[in-house]
Structure 1
Amino acid sequence: MNSAHGGTAQIAAVSSNGEYSFTKPNRPSITLLAGLGVEGDVHAGVTVKHRSRVAADPTQPNLRQVHLIHRELFDEVASAGFSVEPGELGENVTTEGIDLHALPTGTLLRLGREAVVEVTGLRNPCPQINAFQDGLLKQVVGRDEQGRVVRKAGIMGVVHQGGTIRPGDAIEVTLPAPPHVPLERV
């Protein structure tokens, strides 16, 4: 399985930031480190780095080492009048040609030739999104027909195998053995 649309899934942009900031600058490449995350990124580490999670329990395992968002989300929010570019929502990897939110927990994503990220769950969009652009949070969090919360601000993963990745690199998807577990917030 390469993508949700039968085409080739690929990396559109890569981003990292060594300081706590909502947005992350685009880079020519980033290096993923097994068991840690993105080299030089403030959220890299074996245990949680997200400020609210550190405050709750700093010993929790870091299931949020890599944040991925599908570039197609930017087109979707643009139709509602918002302008968002890769890295601006804090993601490390902007993808295209793959429905990230349809992937089950435990999916392996081969990014480029070497790196492998295991999908751990959904990003829980925070109010900082409205500080970035007022009203944007409503565009990335909604409800489905049954009234369940739908989070569209990307997915999180842990690095199984390290490697350097860059825009244009292919993404290969390996689904876990059934039964497939839908993504939950992590």
Structure 2
Amino acid sequence: MGTGLVTAVSSNGVYSFTKPTRESITLLEGLGVEGDVHAGVTVKHRSRVAQDPTQPNLRQVHLIHRELFDELAEQGFEVSAGQLGENVTTEGVDLLGLPTGAVLRFGEEAVVEVTGLRNPCLQIDAFQQGLLKQVVGRDASGRLLRKAGIMGVVRHGGTIRPGDAISVTLPPEPHVPLERV
């Protein structure tokens, strides 16, 4: 289905909205990003832990397409890699158009299975006032659009660096559109 490129990688060992960029990150199979606060078998996002700390962590890796930053810049917002809390910033892959179960291979080793859409929260407006309505909207038919990236789980560990190629493998038909996870 084509290829893309990793433009930045980010992680943070403490709860914070933004994540500093790194020279590389290491994905751990079934866990997420090594040393990242959201890594684990069970859910780590605080709002989800409050609901049910035993639910599986379908949000081990957060990916955002760099093209979103260009779109936001046109609306007067300055956003760069890691500032929306993503672990991997991509280019050339229609992340939001992927179906559930799509598989992303980064470089030679790391493999992430797409689980769903990131559900943007009010912290985005605390980061930059008015940004939330830029990453959440409605299409012409009134359907809710979430544009703040996608989430996935690590199926095979490995190191990811800026410049790594991304290849996409789609699951068998019928494809299931991404939903909030």
1:6 corresponds to which residue?
Answer: none
The CA deviation at 1:97 is 0.6
Match of 1:28 among 15, 23, 26: 23
Amino acid at match of 1:22: F
CA distance, structure 2, for counterparts of residue 54 and residue 98 of structure 1: 31
AA partner of residue 32 (structure 1): L
Q: After TM superposition, give the deviation of residue 67 of structure 1 in Å.
A: 0.1
Determine the C-alpha separation between the residues in 2 that align with 1:19 and 1:168: 26
Distance apart, 1:64 and its partner CA = 0.1
Q: Does 1:44 align with 2:39?
A: yes
Does residue 183 (structure 1) correspond to residue 178 (structure 2)? The answer is yes
- Please say if 1:86 is aligned against 2:48: no
Distance in structure 2 (CA, Å) of the matches to 1:53 and 1:38: 18
Counterpart in the other structure of 1:156: 151
How far residue 184 of structure 1 moved from its aligned partner, in angstroms, is 0.1
5+ long unaligned stretches in structure 1: 4-8
Deviation of 1:146 (Å)? 0.8
Q: How does 1:93-112 map to 2 (within 5 A)?
A: 93-112=88-107
How far apart in 1 are the matches of 2:73 and 2:131? 10
Return the letter of the residue paired with 1:2. G
Which of these residues, 164, 167, 170, is aligned with residue 169 of structure 1? 164
1:2 to partner: Cα distance: 1.6
The one-letter code of the counterpart of 1:74 is: F
Match of 2:118 among 101, 108, 123: 123
State the shift of 1:112 in Å: 1.3
Return the match for 2:52 from 41, 51, 57. 57
Amino acid at match of 2:70: D
Paired with 1:148 and 1:179, the residues of 2 have a C-alpha distance of 21
C-alpha distance in 2, partners of 1:61/1:99? Answer: 26
* Letter aligned with residue 147 of structure 1: G
**Secondary structure of residue in 2 paired with 1:75:** helix
Counterparts of 1:176 and 1:111, CA distance in 2:
17
Count matched residues: 181
Structure 2 match to 1:72: 67
SS at match of 1:69: strand
Question: How well do the aligned residues superpose, as a CA RMSD in angstroms?
Answer: 0.5
**Contiguous gaps of at least 5 residues in structure 2:** none
- Percent of residue pairs identical: 80
2:2 is matched with 2
